[in-house]
Amino acid sequence: MRLAEIVTAGVLALLSIYLMWKSTELNVGYITGEGPGGGAWPFWLAGIMLICTVLIAVNWYRQTSPPSRSAEPLLDGYGKRTLVLVGGGLLGFIALINIISMYGAMAVFLLYYLRFLGRHSWTLTLILSTAIPIGFFFFFEALMRITLPKGMKFTEPFYNFLYSIIY
């Protein structure tokens, strides 16, 4: 557990530095009359993540957190099973994006995660796995004006209906 904590902090620190460096390809400062540049949010969020990883490393060095004092293995049998089930679900989600769209893949993943892994009721599962992707659609397409992958042609009528609500 102790080794896993510092390795994870190191990997996240490297990822943070890379994201900060990559976001400087866009303007990370404030643009008068427009607002923050395109790289501002990624830069500062990666910077906050870097600070957090440094704090994790300090806690690891001082052995002030329970994982930093633990000699137990990172994953027991239940943890490995959960990792495989959730990781497999995420791989399925990624594989479905180009077929049934980002929002359709999100709905399928939520259905799998809530009903089969979380053992929630069908009512709650169907409400959340429908409402969350539709909410994300309106957030990204209408408010942010960011188009996410729509999948294959057969999903087009559904999105045309949602676009008719926006426009």
Q: Dump pLDDT digits (tens) for 142-161.
A: 888 888 999 898 888 888 99
Do 95 and 42 belong to one domain? Answer: no
Pick the most confident of 64-68, 113-117, 138-142: 113-117
3-state secondary structure of 36: strand
Domain count, the chain: 2
3-state secondary structure of 31: strand
Do 53 and 89 belong to one domain? Answer: no
Among candidate residues 69, 89, 105, the one where a domain is terminated: 69
Do 35 and 103 belong to one domain? Answer: no
Residue 12: domain span = 2-69
Among candidate residues 17, 35, 69, the one where a domain is terminated: 69
Do 99 and 161 belong to one domain? Answer: yes
- 61 in Cβ contact with 69 (< 8 Å): no
Do 40 and 8 belong to one domain? Answer: yes
The string of pLDDT tens digits covering residues 16-74 is 999 999 999 999 888 888 888 889 999 999 999 999 999 999 999 999 988 888 888 88
Statement: the pTM of the whole predicted model exceeds 0.75: no
User: What is the structure's pLDDT at 25?
Assistant: 94
Do 96 and 58 belong to one domain? Answer: no
Do 111 and 135 belong to one domain? Answer: yes
User: What is the structure's pLDDT at 60?
Assistant: 94
Q: How far apart are CA 17 and CA 8, in angstroms?
A: 14
> Which residue is associated with the tokens 């990822």?
15
